[in-house]
Amino acid sequence: MNGAQQVEARLRAIMQAWPLRIEPGCQHHLTRLIRDSARRVEIDGFAFDATKLADVDASFRLLLTEMTRQAGVLGLNELHEPTFFNALQRLCPLWPFC
């Protein structure tokens, strides 16, 4: 498994363990974001840097937390595409996601 694949696996595990259900369309966007961000981490040379990987994990949790907050604001009981886009709009720039 290369560096990007390892980063992607870490982030997918966080997403799959998230306590709020993720609607399929939203999961598609998150999966693409994870894949692109994992590549960015590898290209930037941080795929095996424990400190940077901890930052990536924390940033992804922050994104999911903001998505969860957005779900509450929108009266949703699961993560949907609007929660994804609203969270990115609110948090970016957030390396390596945007």
User: What predicted TM-score, i.e. pTM, was given to this entire model?
Assistant: 0.96
Residue 45 in any domain: the answer is: yes
Q: What pLDDT score was predicted for residue 43?
A: 96
Residue 29 in any domain: the answer is: yes
Q: What pLDDT score was predicted for residue 1?
A: 75
Tokens of 81: 């595409």
The rounded distance, in Å, linking the Cα atoms of 24 and 38 is 21
Amino acid identity of 1?
Answer: M
Q: Work out how many domains the chain is built from and give that number.
A: 1
> What separation, in Å, do the N-terminal and C-terminal C-alpha atoms of the chain show?
25
For the chain, residues with pLDDT lower than 70 are none
- Alpha helices, DSSP H, located in the chain: 3-17, 24-43, 50-73, 81-91
Q: What pLDDT score was predicted for residue 48?
A: 95
Spatial CB neighbours of 31, under 8 Å, sequence gap ≥ 6: 12, 15
Residue 97 in any domain: the answer is: no
Task: State the residue range of the domain holding 60.
Answer: 3-15+23-91
Residue 71 in any domain: the answer is: yes
Residue 98 in any domain: the answer is: no
Residue 76 in any domain: the answer is: yes
Residue 96 in any domain: the answer is: no
Q: What pLDDT score was predicted for residue 47?
A: 96
Spatial CB neighbours of 19, under 8 Å, sequence gap ≥ 6: none
Q: What pLDDT score was predicted for residue 54?
A: 97
